[in-house]
Structure 1
Amino acid sequence: MSKEGRYASPPCMAGDVDPTYFDPLGVDPAQARDVARWRGAERRRLASFRERLGQTERAQASSSICGHLATVLALRGALRGTVLAGYWPVRCEPDLRPLLHDLHDQGVRIALPAVETRAAPLVFRRWTPGTRLERGHWSIPVPPPEAETLTPDIALAPCLGWDRGGFRLGWGGGYFDRTLAALSPRPLTIGIALGAARLPTIYPQPHDIPLDLVVTETGLSVERKDIS
């Protein structure tokens, strides 16, 4: 450790020193490159792990997550009229569509994220079980442009990886963090993840915004203490 009290090793080596270390300023270009390379390797590893799970195991995990998430949402006041931003599962992500159907039937207004402008915040278009979806950015199914645009009270975020601070490792596009930074008031954010995808840290950078909660197949795994 340097005399200024910071670790002398860059993040690519920090795991050998202290697995919870990160520089919250993250302004050093070499450190940022190291973090980017490390995250790329972790994305590949975690995506491969998820793909190797059998359909039965993925379905069981999705069902368990839906059950735990339903309880969390009920406790957090997801009532009739609440706007909840979900997601359409791709790349072996946990499938929450049965729960989205149930919530819709209960009067919760469901929205799905869409990219209308590259490198800009997401928009959230209303979804119902009868909505005709079309292929959006990265061929992800999204409601059509004429669908009503909503502002979420609660936003769900699929996680490739996550850490105990509530920081999320996504696919690297930065859309979710960019969107949260633009929303005021900020919605309650809930990460959806597999328990085995927990990391000691993602080495958060200045643009990373922590999730409020993380729900896995084992239950509520992260709850930040500074939220009501």
Structure 2
Amino acid sequence: MAGDGDCRGGFASPPCYAGEIAPDYFDPLAVDAQQAGDVARWRKAERARLRRLRAGMSVGDRKRAGLALRGHLLTVLRERFGDMRGCVFSGYWPIKGEPDLRPMLEELHDAGVTVALPVVETKAAPLVFRRWKPELRMVRGDWNIPVPPPDAPIVVPDISLAPLVGWTEECYRLGYGGGYFDRTLAALDPKPFLIGVGFDAARLGTIYPQPHDVRLDLTVTEAGIRGRREGR
């Protein structure tokens, strides 16, 4: 494969309604249970605030931001992974005002990249990833999210997108709170190349990282690369 990055096994982002299943999810093995509980409550409030902020974006602003974000992502992917032939790329199906990257998924598919979407097949368990194609007839999965049908092949992503509710320049991610992201990563070895994607206005100074939190390799918004994990 062309480029300076090697495709490796990985995972994709959690479903966007995960927080409605476990809104106070935190690592029970954390050293200080009181501190972990305080962080969980703070995060719940920040999720609500940032989702309101996102919901308040105009259709035009959201469309322009999504277009810019797709351009930055494609540049990042091509510079690091070349033409990406031989890679499996996991995206997501946008809901709740997330950036719409579906045109990029179609473009990658047309370029010979295997595209996958995450599927919840067992609650409170790691995700599985089923192959997606533009002509595929989707079905309604958990929380009514469109997903590939059960007969779509299961694949293991090499590169994964993680939609962001909030993000930090240190490449920490505020997600939806259900813990699917962390459970999935814990089940996979080697670790994936993870790219967090979201709106620039969702920047946070910190998420108060906990033992279970996973750092992204890159954070990308409509403004470009906004965080890069050292050494990746």
Alpha-carbon RMSD: 1.1
In 1, the alpha carbon distance for the partners of 2:182 and 2:99 equals 20
SS of corresponding position for 1:189: strand
Matches within 5 A, 1:165-180: 165-180=170-185
Q: Secondary structure at the match of 2:214?
A: coil
1:194 is matched with 199
1:49 counterpart residue number = 53
**2:209 maps to what in 1?**
204
| Residue 36 (str. 1) matches residue 36 (str. 2) | no
Q: After alignment, is 84-93 or 180-189 more displaced? A: 180-189
Using the TM superposition, give the Cα deviation of residue 165 of structure 1 relative to its aligned residue in structure 2, in angstroms. 1.5
Cα shift at 1:90: 0.6
Tell me the SS of whatever aligns to 1:226. coil
* Map of 1:60 onto structure 2: 64
Structure with the bigger RCO (C-alpha within 8 Å, sep 6+) is 2
Describe the SS at the equivalent of 2:167.
strand
Which structure 1 residue ranges, 4+ long, deviate > 6 Å from structure 2? none
User: Quick one: distance in 2 between partners of 1:165 and 1:149?
Assistant: 32
Q: Deviations over 1:40-73 (max 9, x none)?
A: 0000000000000011000000000000000001
CA distance in 1, matches of 2:216, 2:56: 27
Counterpart mapping for 1:89-168 below 5 A: 89-168=94-173
Equivalent position SS for 2:213: coil
Amino acid at match of 2:56: R
Question: Unpaired runs of 5+ in structure 2?
Answer: 1-28
Q: Which has the larger radius of gyration?
A: 1
In the other structure, the counterpart of 2:13 is none
Q: Secondary structure at the match of 2:196?
A: strand
Superposition deviation, residue 226 in structure 1: 2.1
Counterpart-to-counterpart distance in 1, 2:84 and 2:210? 34
- Distance in 1 between the 2:117 and 2:41 partners? 30
| Structure 1 residue 26 displacement after superposition | 4.3
User: Is the aligned partner of 1:87 residue 2:88?
Assistant: no
TM-score between the two structures when normalised by the length of structure 2: 0.85
Distance (whole Å) between structure 1 residues aligned to residue 76 and residue 185 of structure 2:
21
SS at match of 2:98: coil
Deviation sequence 1:196-224 (CA, Å, 0-9, x none): 10100001111111000011001011111
Give the counterpart letter for 2:37 in structure 1.
R
Return the offset for 1:37: 0.7
Query: What per-residue deviation string (whole Å, max 9, x for no partner) do you get for residues 74-120 of structure 1?
Result: 11215122100000001000000011100000001000000011111
In structure 1, the partner of 2:14 is none
Classify the secondary structure of the residue corresponding to 1:199: coil
Task: State the TM-score, normalizing by the size of structure 1.
Answer: 0.87
SS in 2 for 1:76: helix
> 5+ residue gaps in structure 1?
1-24
Give the aligned residue type for 1:27.
Answer: V
Q: SS of 2:61's equivalent?
A: helix
CA distance in 2, matches of 1:58, 1:178: 30
Report the alpha carbon displacement of residue 133 of structure 1 after superposing the two structures with TM: 0.9
The 2-side partners of 1:199 and 1:48 are apart by 15
Q: 1 CA distance for matches of 2:196 and 2:202?
A: 12
Q: Give the Cα separation in 2 of the matches to 1:76 and 1:176.
A: 23
